[in-house]
């Protein structure tokens, strides 16, 4: 391992970009501002790898105007199929960090075996993914399990689940008059959650009027659903207006903000987000070690 520039490095391979690219082979495990900036600006000689899901999301975010084009041409690493890169065997596993397309990795060389997961949530929509890579750790018994330092906390606090988010949104709708000018602010980084918002609104006889680029993004991922950007002449429906996050931050009464956007400002949207990851304190750390049957968990 290497602590150069705080980057996470295993031999000649780098996992994620915290500040700068220092290796030829870089594996992107999740959507973050630094990872996207590296993909956007790095030399084409750098070989980036990421999941099929994240690759697709990034391509659509570019196509519909959310982010700028990339300088690099990343490669897709298939999940659960070992790949040998520069003498190191790397196996990717789908992960859930509340965003879209994250991965965790089992990494083996001739001298060492480790497991790396930047961050995860216990309350996401894909709990089976976590169960899968936890089983991999128990079966393979790597020497160390690495997590991002931001996951560790001295004061653990509960996080809202994906189900809880929809209940929260449902409660918001229930307390807003159909005649009130309700607005919402969403992130495009979790298309599955956006589709659920749309469904929850319709269950309350409300229609979300989406920003055009959001509707285009959602129509790609969910072509059988309907995401309206305006009402037809003669339609008299109770609406919820999606605010333009590039221009305004919504914080007033009768408005709803996605939980991951609490610290976001209009100037840095949409890459400045806070994934709803599970905080780990000393007690939960001991429980995790027992669950994984592993001695060493390192917060990097």
Q: Tell me the per-residue pLDDT of 48-69, one tens digit each, with 9 for 90 and over.
A: 999 999 999 999 999 999 999 9
For 208, phi then psi, to 5°, come to: -85, 125
pLDDT of 244 reads 72
* Residue predicted with more confidence, 85 or 244: 85
Which of 123, 129, 191 shows the shortest CA–CA distance to 158? Answer: 123
Provide the percentage of residues in the chain whose pLDDT is more than 90. 69
Token duo for residue 234: 């003669």
CA distance 288 to 96: 16
Residues paired with residue 147 on neighbouring β-strands, in sequence order: 299
Residues 148-174 have pLDDT tens digits of 999 998 877 788 999 999 999 999 999
Q: Say whether 278 sits in a helix, a strand or coil.
A: coil
Query: In this predicted structure, what is the pLDDT of residue 94?
Result: 98
Question: Is the pLDDT assigned to residue 4 strictly greater than 70?
Answer: no
- pLDDT tens, residue by residue, 13-43: 999 999 999 999 999 999 999 999 999 988 8
Give CA–CA dist 259/96, Å, rounded. Answer: 16
DSSP state of 259: G
Question: Closest by alpha carbon to 100, among 267, 273, 282, 248?
Answer: 273
DSSP state, residue 44 = T
Residues 146 and 108 sit within 8 Å (Cβ to Cβ): no
Where do the DSSP E strands lie in the chain? 8-10, 13-15, 25-27, 47-50, 75-76, 83-85, 88-94, 103-108, 113-116, 144-147, 183-185, 206-209, 238-242, 255-257, 297-299
Cα distances from 119 to residues 7, 37, 97, 155, in angstroms, run 15, 19, 6, 17
Among 18-32, 64-78, 174-188, the minimum mean pLDDT is found in 174-188
pLDDT at residue 269 in the model: 45
Predicted local confidence at residue 266, as pLDDT = 46
More confident residue, 281 or 176: 281
| Residue of 48, 56, 262, 247 whose CA lies nearest to 168 | 262
Q: Within its chain, how far is the Cα of 299 from the centroid?
A: 19
Mean pLDDT of the chain: 89
> Can you give the pTM of this predicted structure?
0.90
């Amino acid at each position: 391992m290497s602590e150069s520039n705080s980057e996470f490095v295993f031999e000649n391979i780098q996992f994620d970009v915290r500040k700068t690219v220092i290796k030829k082979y870089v594996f992107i495990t999740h959507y973050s501002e630094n990872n996207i900036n590296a993909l956007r600006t790095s030399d084409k000689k750098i070989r980036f790898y990421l999941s099929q899901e994240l690759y697709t999301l990034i391509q659509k975010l570019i196509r519909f105007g959310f982010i700028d084009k990339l300088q690099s041409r990343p490669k897709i690493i298939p999940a659960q199929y070992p790949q040998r890169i520069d003498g190191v065997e790397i196996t990717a596993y789908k992960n859930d960090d509340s965003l879209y397309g994250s991965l965790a990795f089992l990494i083996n060389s001739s001298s060492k075996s480790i497991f790396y997961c930047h961050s995860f949530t216990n309350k996401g929509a894909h709990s089976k993914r976590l169960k899968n890579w936890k089983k991999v750790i128990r079966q393979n018994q790597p020497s160390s399990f690495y997590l991002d330092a931001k996951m560790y906390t001295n004061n653990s606090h509960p996080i809202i689940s994906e189900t809880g988010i929809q209940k929260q949104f449902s409660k918001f709708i229930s307390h807003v008059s159909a005649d009130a000018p309700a607005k919402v602010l969403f992130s495009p980084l979790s298309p599955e959650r956006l589709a659920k918002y749309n469904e929850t609104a319709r269950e309350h006889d409300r229609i979300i009027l989406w920003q055009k680029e959001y509707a285009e993004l959602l129509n790609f991922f969910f072509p059988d659903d309907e995401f309206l950007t305006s009402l037809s002449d003669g339609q008299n429906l109770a609406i919820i207006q999606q605010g333009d996050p590039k221009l305004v931050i919504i914080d007033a009464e009768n408005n709803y903000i996605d939980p991951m956007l609490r610290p976001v400002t209009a100037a840095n949207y949409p890459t400045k987000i806070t994934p709803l990851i599970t905080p780990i304190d000393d007690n939960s750390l001991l429980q995790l070690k027992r669950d994984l049957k592993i001695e060493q968990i390192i917060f990097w």
